[in-house]
Amino acid sequence: MLRAIRIVTLSVSDLAEAECAYADWLGYQRVERGHIDGELADTWDTPLVEGSPYALLRSPTGSEVILRLIERPITPGFAPLHTHGWNAHEMLVLDPVSLEQRLRKPDSPFEVIGASAPLDSNPSIIAMQAIGPNRELNYFTRIPPEGGTFIKTTARAFVDRSFIMVVGGSSLSALREFYALRLGMTVTDSF
């Protein structure tokens, strides 16, 4: 059963560019650099990833949740919001409105594609979306101090840790069935 996010992995076509973007614009700090070894590539059943350069980044809070950037060619046909699979992550932030203003600056490597707005399901939660320099999709969300419906912790830095992975598919009912029956997870109602 899945319990907690420890590492979020993003494929990026230019590792140096992505690392600079997350450091300079989101305050993340590098904790390790290297190349994916054969054992890890085998664990993922992705032999072509072996030898790929990677960087591990952490939010300025020192959170245990790591952001792993792996340099790989862009997958043909990949389009943010239109590709099936684990295709985005959501990060806790203190002020999505201020972050949006920052990411809209002309020299920003991020492209805001969803303006800051309260969630319909819980107006005290405010979220925005931006595509990173390598077409990776990032959700940025403020959870109020009293917590949300499922997430009870708030950000401890302007941009904090990833706390949700976003999966896309052609059938919500098939995805829900897979996670409930195959992985034994409690599946909540959709929003």
pTM: 0.87
Domains of the chain, by residue range, sit at: 7-75+83-182
| pLDDT higher than threshold 90 for residue 108 | yes
Topology (CATH level 3) of domain 7-75+83-182: 2,3-Dihydroxybiphenyl 1,2-Dioxygenase; domain 1 (3.10.180)
- CB-based contacts of 89: which residues, under 8 Å, 6+ apart? 8, 10, 137, 138, 139, 162, 164, 165, 166
Could you give the CA distance from residue 185 to residue 12 in angstroms, rounded to a whole number? 30
pLDDT digits (tens, 9 = 90+) for 119-156: 988 899 999 999 999 999 999 999 988 766 666 688 89
**Mean pLDDT computed over every residue of the chain:** 90
